[in-house]
Structure 1
Amino acid sequence: MRRVAALAVILLALGGFFAWRMMRDRDAAQAPFLGYVEGEVLYIGPNEGERLASLAVAAGAVVKPGDLLFAMSTTLLDRQRSEALARIGQFEAQLQNLRAAMNRPEQVAVLHAGLERAEAALTLSRNDYDRQLKLYRSGNVAKATLDRAEMALRRDEASVKEARRQVNAALIPGRSQEIEAAEAAIRQARAQLEAIDIRLGRQKVRAPAAGVVQDVFFRPGEVVNAGQPVVALLPPENRKVRFYVPEPRLAAVRIGGQVKVGCDGCPDDLFGRISFVASRQEYTPPVIFSDVERAKLVFKAEARLEGRARELPLGMPVSVTPLAQTAGAER
């Protein structure tokens, strides 16, 4: 009888153990995944190294796209812009001078007067030549006198041609090659001015997206290198939950699937959508919010928060339950 009683006790103990084991496995299969809230922070810095002139936000500030975050000093760029404007003015004056006549109106008037004087001298010498030619034909003057009159006529004709060419040369504008070179110089100077204006605009750094300022790393008066972050901005859509899925339950997690997010003191209508599941397993991380089965391999997963869940603070521990699993558990 004692053996039978002992055997019965052993069988009851084994039955209780297996029942407890089955209940524990069932609870483990239905337990939510544990994780924490993370965020992909945007680290925003200047395009060029300069001194921080002003800061328009503080940690915790909520900004909209296009809101001013901070401004850098523009002393050097302002001087470069003034220099570019002066260079453009110089090139435009040179181009206007090349397009205009080579001489001033007063100088052209003097040349016209010289032409009129040469033409008057030519008229006088032509009349004298005609008179000497008639006298020579009548035998009243020698051949030498006629030759001198003809030489004076040819001289005055050459003087008139020279005076006309001087007037025409004075009215000719600069050479076309020089004008094209001056126009190209103006285009280049204007392009440099536009580049400086773009750099000046970039010195005022604005929010690329709506979000919450997580941290500010510099204060006005400090020198910031190019690309060095001044403000850390977290857009709401960049908040996510990172959690780890044991291998036996990996089939319940699918990219694009909706999950329910829970936390202490949080409302029940917090949801997210799975955006990442690791393709390789890894050991249970040393810091995790569960003491059960640490030695098993797990798969890292992430879910993008939606709606009111985007208001959860970074680092907050949460529980993640796939909605399909919740429905199966209720049935």
Structure 2
Amino acid sequence: MNKKLIGVVVVAGAAAVVYFGFFAKNKTDSDTTIYGNVDIREATLGFRTGGRVAEVKVDEGTIVKKGDILARLDTEPLNNNLQSATANVAALVARNTMMHQGFRQEDIEQAKAKVLAAEAALANAEKQLTRQAALVAEQATTQHLLDDVRSARDQASAQLKATQQQALEMQRGYRKEEIAESDALLAQARASLASAQLAVADAVLVAVSDGIVLTRAIEAGTMVQSGTVAFNLSLTKPVWVRAYVPEPQLGRYPAGTHVTLETDSRPGKPYHGTVGFVSPAAEFTPKSVETTDLRTSLVYRIRVVVEDADTQLRQGMPVTVRSAQ
């Protein structure tokens, strides 16, 4: 073999190594690259109770922390309802306690004394009736007077029965049905009190999470109903990326996989994240990330939690995702 032929073979071999090495590298890079979009959750906030807006403390673009006060309602009518509910509970507690404990011993003794008095009155009425009956027989008095005395005796007898029944009821205490009704009324009053207390607490609208106020829909003095939208809040945590993995690459992105995230607005400075969810169902590539070659490809949606997100990541921003493995 002459030197010229040997040189041609060497050059061809070197070219093959370079070509296949470059192809393999590009293929590996392609196999670990997927595309998606930033997904930032939003929260719609409103008062759970209605009333007049007394104060608005934030505006669009304000950065808030979880628990920060956003707005307040006028609490005067709510406090009035609270005081009324508190007084109602106090009255029913006193009545309910009395019904459970029964009548006082003093009341029972007083009822017994009334029975004794009624018995004495009846005995006296019986004597008067006997005396008047004897006088009528001797024609020493009139039948009309006898009828009056008999009527008085009947009234004394009825009064004795009434006082005896009252004394018996006081000794037995309240009926179980009356106590159950009192318990139910007290429970209802306490529920109304809890609702009044909650309404006062709900007059202060707070941020549910760290975020940025996107829209403000109320002003001081505005009358709002329960559930009226007051603010839209863009949550700063968590920030996710929704990406789509072709089936051949699915094994490279199991849950827990560490990835890098690149955006056009920050070239050369990738974000970092972790795959937190892999959809069990395939779907067609979304139009927001599809290329001509991928329009009919089935992919699996994954969700990547961004670990070092900042304010440069905006809703819907396209992202290139690469596996760090």
TM-score (norm 2): 0.59
For the 8 Å contact 2:214–2:234, the answer to whether it is kept is no
- Find the residue that maps to 1:41 and give its secondary structure: strand
Amino acid aligned to 1:211: D
Measured against aligned partners, the alpha-carbon deviations of 1:163-212 in whole angstroms (never above 9, x if no partner) come to: 7667667766596455654454333223222233234333433344x421
Please name the residue that 1:256 is paired with: 256
Does residue 61 (structure 1) correspond to residue 60 (structure 2)? The answer is no
Question: SS of the counterpart of 1:54?
Answer: strand
Q: 1:85-123: per-residue Cα shift (whole Å, max 9, x none)?
A: 45556657877999779xx9xx99x9799769959968x
Change (3 A) 1:229 1:158: closer
3-state SS of 1:186 partner: helix
Corresponding residue for residue 323 of structure 1: 324
Q: For structure 2, which runs of at least 5 residues remain unmatched after alignment?
A: 1-7, 132-136, 140-145
State the 1:229 CA deviation. 3.8
Between the aligned partners of 1:319 and 1:310, the Cα distance in structure 2 is 17
SS at 1:313 equivalent: coil
Taking the TM superposition and a 5 Å limit, the aligned residue runs for 1:146-185 are 176=175, 181-185=181-185
- 2:34 partner amino acid: F
1:53 Cα offset (Å): 3.9
- State the SS of the aligned residue for 2:214: strand
Partner of 2:205: 205
Residues 119 and 160 in structure 1, CA contact (< 8 A), matched pair in contact too: yes
1:322 shift after superposition: 0.7
Name the residue aligned to 1:313.
313
Residue of structure 1 in register with 2:189 after alignment: 189
- In the other structure, the counterpart of 1:3 is none
Output the aligned Cα RMSD. Answer: 5.4
| Alignment partner, residue 271 of structure 1 | 272
Report how many aligned residue pairs link the two structures.
287
Give 1:69 shift.
3.6
Q: 276, 281, 284: which is aligned to 1:282?
A: 284
Contact 2:255 2:276 in 1 (8 A): yes
Structure 2 residue identity aligned to 1:188: Q
Write the distance in 1 (CA, Å) between the matches of 2:259 and 2:227. Answer: 37
User: Take 1:49 and 1:266, find their aligned partners in 2: how far apart are those partners?
Assistant: 51
Any residues of structure 2 matched to 1:8-23 within 5 Å, and which? 23=22
Are the structure 2 counterparts of residues 36 and 266 from structure 1 closer, same or farther at C-alpha, using a change threshold of 3 Å? Answer: farther
Once residues 174 and 181 of structure 2 are traced to their aligned partners in structure 1, the CA distance between those partners, rounded to angstroms, is 10
Mean Cα displacement is larger for which, 248-257 or 90-99?
90-99
| TM-aligned CA deviation for residue 312 of structure 1 | 4.9
Query: 2:65 is aligned with what amino acid?
Result: V
Deviation at 1:61, TM superposition (A): 1.9
Instruction: Decide which structure has the larger Cα Rg and report it.
Output: 1
Note the 1:13-52 alignment, pairs <5 A: 23=22, 26-27=25-26, 29-31=28-30, 32-48=33-49, 50-52=51-53
Over 3 Å counting, the alpha-carbon distance change for 1:162 and 1:250 in structure 2 is: closer
Cα deviations by residue, 1:306-331 (Å, 9 ceiling, x for unpaired): 2x23665224444322111xxxxxxx
What residue identity is the alignment partner of 1:61? I
Preserved contact between residue 281 and residue 298 of structure 1 (Cα < 8 Å): yes
Letter in 2 for 1:71: R
Secondary structure at 1:309's aligned position in 2? coil
1:218 Cα offset (Å): 1.6
Report the Cα distance in structure 1 between the residues aligned to 2:93 and 2:294, rounded to whole angstroms: 78
- SS at 2:190 equivalent: helix
User: When the two structures are superposed, what TM-score results if normalisation uses the length of structure 1?
Assistant: 0.58
For residues 287 and 320 of structure 1, what CA distance do their matches in structure 2 show?
Answer: 12
Is contact 1:237–1:310 with CA below 8 Å preserved after alignment? Answer: no
- Seen in structure 2, the aligned counterparts of structure 1 residues 205 and 115 have a Cα distance that, compared at 3 Å, is same
